[in-house]
A = this chain, B = another copy of it.
Amino acid sequence: MVDFPHSQLLEPSTGAAGNASRPVGMNGAESLLRTLVGSGVEVCFANPGTSEMHFVSALDRVDGMRAVLVLFEGVATGAADGYARMTGKPAVTLLHLGPGLGNGLANLHNARKAQVPVVNIIGDHATTHQRFEAPLTSNVAAFAGTVSHWVHSSRGSATVAADAARAVQAARTAPGQIASLILPADTAWRPAERIASPLPITGPAPVSELAIAQSAAALRSGEACALLLRGDALLGRGLAAAGRIAAATGARLICDTFAPRIERGRGRVAVERLPYRPGPAIAFLQGTKSLILVGTQAPVAFFAYPGQPSELTPPGCQPMVLAHPHEDGAAALEALAEAIGAPQQRPISTSRPAAPDFPVDGTLDPDAVMRVVAHCLPEGAIISDESLTAGFACYPRFDLAAPHDYLQLSGGAIGGGLPLATGAAIACPGRKVISLEGDGSAMYTLQALWTQARERTDTITVIFANRSYKVLNEELKGVGAGEAGPKVLSMLDLHDPALNWVKLAEGMGVEARRVDRVRDLTDALRSAINGHGPHLIEAVVS
């Protein structure tokens, strides 16, 4: 959020009230920045305005903070989410008053639901200026409260550093929280004394012996069990332990429909995905006697539909909590594996199984696109999947792809995908990040492409160009809203005019190509993977 011009006018102030031009000493903004760096925060996704100029200015005086400019706040917040998913650490967003924060709320909602750490620094009017009804005056704390676990407005420059340390601590409280620190302009520009030391972090809580014993008893009972996994349970140690349990007991391994991050691909433990729709989800779980929850809750429908249940646990199935989201799910799974005497898993095979089959040529449909991407996927890639209609049926296509991380839209607020990919790329230089995007969904935060070009991220965006809000065509039937007339259809159709994603990408400095055949997609994708910097491929699908 940018503001209005100001120049020519201001004499350097000399009074005690205006210490902005003092050449030595530290102001609140600098004490804040140094404290953030000292607390382990390394990246700032910024769309600053006037109130944040002292923070911006401090960037050149303080080492250790990478500043990434974005042209829309939703890119900053979504990128912070992606960064946190890949590193487990908070990035900082720099936002401008209530409306600037407003533009970032949808992706903060997603980050909140992904349970990752984010620290927002939101500039506000100087404390002396807040009682006036200036144009940008707003209740910043009210905006922040909609998505934040922790909100605080600094009241003086001497306390800003301590506030920043508390914000980082709040963000890093397991499993990860949204912390919003509001920074009135005068708390940034007035003098500060010192930085604040990092505060202790509340890591994941240990899981109770009772929960482990109960889950072990269920697994030993001989009745059908399933483990529903989320968070650390879908990564590294947790996933390996889950695999041991499944191998020893026959229990199914299932993940939430929109798990924030999953380690997938050849040689890794495969996890089934809970179907999105209520009926199929209930049918999918039918026959399960014990549903062991690890880092998640008992499953609920994404939306309610007339006459359909919200709770997806089928009759006769007993959910039981092994680990709450704030508890150590990976350790719990390891303890559970020991408790049932599961053998150590065989070392992961180093012989490469065949890559997923893929069509050699033909026109494109969503499944063909997914098969090409899965086939070409480089080892260690990161997928940001916001393909919506395309993604559900094609999820299993990636089980045999090269090992990769798979990120999804955990909070359901569209417009997460491109920013998420941008943040993941900043977090993981050297790894390829592939965004799978609907043409409708990519439009919410297309400004991310500019930041990708500016930062030369190794990001490849594949647009599923179906020229419609196809998902809504299906939802319309699902909710029983009756036959679609011409006005309804016009609300779901993006043909008039068709978006030209090649031009949109090139307009922001990203190399782009349109394809409508399998061979051309394969060619474009391989070329992008072998190249450097961001690319976009518009895949016209029927």
- On A, residues with C-beta under 8 Å from B are 1-10, 12-15, 17-21, 46, 48-51, 53-54, 56-57, 59-61, 67, 69, 71-72, 74, 98-100, 102-103, 105-106, 109-110, 113, 125-126, 128-129, 132-136, 138-139, 142-143, 145-147, 185-186, 189, 258, 276-280, 297, 300-308, 310-311, 388-389, 392, 409-415, 438, 440-441, 443-444, 446-447, 450, 453-454, 469-472, 474-482, 484-488, 490-491, 494, 496-504, 506-509
Contact = CB atoms under 8 A, between A and B. Distances in A.
A31 B110 CA distance: 33
Nearest first, the 10 A-B pairs at minimum CB distance are A60-B485, A497-B509, A13-B307, A18-B307, A20-B480, A102-B105, A99-B413, A18-B306, A6-B478, A503-B507
Contacts of A484: 57, 60
A178 B490 CA distance: 27
B499 A10 contact: no
A268 to B, nearest CB: 25
A4 B8 CA distance: 53
A13 B132 CA distance: 55
A469 B504 contact: no
A146 B135 contact: no
A6 B276 contact: yes
A469 to B, nearest CB: 5
Contact of A189 (B5, B10, B481, B499): B481
20 contacts: A4-B388, A5-B388, A6-B303, A6-B305, A9-B478, A10-B305, A10-B308, A10-B480, A17-B306, A20-B481, A48-B472, A53-B472, A60-B485, A60-B488, A105-B105, A125-B303, A135-B411, A138-B147, A186-B304, A454-B496
**Interface-central residue, A146, A311, A504, by most chain B CB under 10 Å:** A146
Number of copies: 2
A278 B446 CA distance: 37
Nearest to A50: B475
A189 B133 CA distance: 41
Contact of A506 (B8, B277, B488, B500): B500
**Interface-central residue, A3, A138, A474, A506, by most chain B CB under 10 Å:** A3
